Structures are given as structure tokens and as C-alpha cells.
A and B are shown apart, each in its own frame.
Chain A
Amino acid sequence: MGQILEAGTVAPDFSLHVTPDQKLALSELRGRPVILAFYPADWSPVCGDQMALYNEVLSEFQKFGAELLGISVDGVWCHEAFTKDRHLHFPLLADYEPKGAVAKKYGAYRDEDGFCERALFMIDRKGKIFWSYCSPVAVNPGADGILQAMEEMPK
């Protein structure tokens, strides 16, 4: 397991597919706090699912004007089906080709498994990492760390 990027580092920019015909670049969100949530895969077991939890907490994130982005190595079509099935109201980015390239930039790729860590990054308005956290891959990190980081982040 590598080391994920730490607070104080400039968040590496990227541009990834968010729908089959649309890309989103991190730099487009400059000026707003961004929560990057890397996770291993779509379709993990239902009620303890990390993305499903964030979907419910979304309004709390939005109170801080923050944008939440989920990222995994699943492809756009897979993300689309997963989003529809779970009624997700935030974008899932496909770190699909070259596989895991963005995760690798953030130190959040598991070479031995071929998927992302459960790694969270709170990126401030200027594009710098304010807080990061890597959870054991089997443990949903919940949302408390994100909320606390958002509160501590300078306005």
C-alpha cells in the first residue's frame, strides 16, 4: 500500500468522463471546495455502501458549497447503471483509461488489486489538499471526517 497525498499538496488536476459523452476537469471546480472520494468498485453490498451514504449526506456537504466527486476504475456505463440503481445525485468519475491513472497520481491505487483505495481528499478553494484520509479497503470511512474537515477549512 502506497502513501496517499497529504494535506498541503497541490491537488493534481485531471479530466475524466462523468457520462459517456461528458468530461469533468478538477480545475473547472476551482473556487469551490471539492471532496474527492476514491472507492474500490460500484456494486458493493447494499446498506453499508459508501456512495449511498454520501448520497444521503449530500445536503450537508452542499451547505458548505462543496462539490462531491466519486471516483473508481469502473467504466462510464457501469457508473451510469450504478447511479441509476442507487439514485445517486452526484457525479461518479471513471478512472478507466488508462486504468487508475488519476488514483495513482493521488497515491490511491492498489496495484495488487487493480482498483482504488478508499481514500478521501478535501480540496480547498485554491486547489490545495486540505485533508486526506485512507481507510482500510473493507471499511466504509463514513462522512464524519469529511464534515469535520469542511468545518475546519478556512472560508
Chain B
Amino acid sequence: MLKAPVTASDHIQGDQAAPVTLLEYGDYECPHCGHAYPIIKRIQKHFGKQLKFVFRNFPLSEMHPNAEGAAEAAEFAGTKGRFWEMHDGIFENQQELGVPLLLTLAETLGLSAPDLRNALMDREYAPRVKSDFLGGVRSGVNGTPTFFINGQRHDGLPDFEDLVAAIEARMSSEPD
């Protein structure tokens, strides 16, 4: 069960009133998360206004040296209202992940690359990332990506059919 409830400080995409919340604990350098990225896009399209999507950071930094910086860069962009653009940009260019990519993405989004560089050096957004991570650990996140559907951990594979079936099952078990 999700121990850290979704709040206004989360990054939420989609209709706020949507009956289903799909939440991902992800790592920007994790290949499985990269694989799940286009699947989530398809899921969002499939369910439309019925679903909102939340992304939280769960960088496995010892294994993925660029994951923490990427998470902090997305949080930096988030403070300028560009979280999802950065999030998408990172996953769409996962093969080139590193500080140069993050700075380029910032520039493309009209954000200040020097500001991002300073924020990364000062670890300005590290506490936010850490708080996501610890909330995930407490909720039983055991690897990446881990999904929660309306607060219930989804243990199946992160493939399209599987997620659709799990979301539909949740919708029919919770009539509004």
C-alpha cells in the first residue's frame, strides 16, 4: 500500500478529478523505466480523462550514476512549471543521459543551463528526491519501475495489456 499519499506537491498529469491514479516510482537511468515510458503514454491516451499519472523519484544511484542528477534536473524544471517536458526529454534521450544532456534539455525548454548547473552542484533538489525515495521505500517499492494504482501496488509486468487490465479491474471494483 502507498504510505505517502498523493498531494499537491506531486507531479500530476491529467484530470485532477480522474477516478484512477497511476503512480510510478521511477529511475531515469533504469532501462525498465525507459521501456515503460512509451507504454505509460499509451495508457494515458487509452484512459483519457479517467486517469491521472503521478511520477515520483526512486533513483538507484549506486547502480545508475546519472539517475540522481536527472531526478534533480527534472525537479529543477518542475519549479519552473516544466517538469513533464524535462521528464519526457530525459526518457526520450535515455541513451545519452548525463549532465550535458540535462543542460541541453534545459536550454531547449528555455530554462537557464547555468542555473541548472548550480542547482546540481549545490544539490538543491536532493532533499526533494530523497523524500520521494524514502516515501517509496516505506510503501514497499522494491525496484524500478514500481507502479501503484489508486494506492495499491501493482506487481505485474509493466506492459500495456497488463496495466490496462489492472486499471480496469480497479475501476470496476471501486464504483463511484
Q: Given that A47-B27, A47-B30, A47-B31 are contacting pairs, would A55 and B140 also be in contact in the complex, using a CB cutoff of 8 Å?
A: no
| B interface, over-half SS | loop
A residues in contact with B61, CB < 8 Å: 56
A144 contacts B by Cβ under 8 Å = yes
Q: Given that A56-B133, A60-B134 are contacting pairs, would A47 and B140 also be in contact in the complex, using a CB cutoff of 8 Å?
A: no
Q: Which residue of B lies closest to A141 (CB)?
A: B142
CB of B62 within 8 A of CB of A87, answer: yes
Task: List 8 other contacts, CB 8 Å, given A56-B133, A144-B139.
Answer: A47-B60, A50-B142, A86-B62, A88-B62, A89-B62, A140-B143, A142-B140, A142-B142
A101 contacts B by Cβ under 8 Å = no
Q: What would be 27 A-B contacts, judged by CB atoms less than 8 Å apart?
A: A47-B30, A47-B33, A48-B32, A48-B143, A48-B144, A49-B143, A50-B142, A52-B60, A52-B62, A52-B63, A52-B143, A53-B137, A53-B142, A55-B62, A56-B61, A60-B134, A60-B137, A86-B62, A86-B63, A87-B62, A87-B63, A139-B142, A140-B143, A144-B137, A144-B138, A144-B139, A144-B140
B residues in contact with A1, CB < 8 Å: none
A-B contact count (CB 8 A): 57
Interface size band for B: 20 to 34
CB of A47 within 8 A of CB of B144, answer: yes
Interface residues of A in 55-82 (CB under 8 A from B): 55-57, 60
A147 contacts B by Cβ under 8 Å = yes
CB of B62 within 8 A of CB of A147, answer: no
Q: Which residue of A lies closest to B63 (CB)?
A: A52
User: Size of chain A's interface in residues, with CB distance under 8 A?
Assistant: 22
CB of B62 within 8 A of CB of A56, answer: yes
Q: Write the A135-154 contact mask toward B (1 if CB under 8 angstroms, else 0).
A: 00001111110010000000
**In the assembled complex, how far is the CB of residue B139 from the closest CB belonging to chain A, in whole angstroms?**
7
Q: Given that A56-B133, A140-B142, A144-B138 are contacting pairs, would A47 and B32 also be in contact in the complex, using a CB cutoff of 8 Å?
A: yes
How many angstroms from the CA of A56 to the CA of B30 in the assembled complex?
Answer: 15
B90 contacts A by Cβ under 8 Å = no
How many angstroms from the CA of A90 to the CA of B79 in the assembled complex?
Answer: 36
CB of B60 within 8 A of CB of A53, answer: yes
Q: Write the B120-151 contact mask toward A (1 if CB under 8 angstroms, else 0).
A: 00000000000001100111111110000000
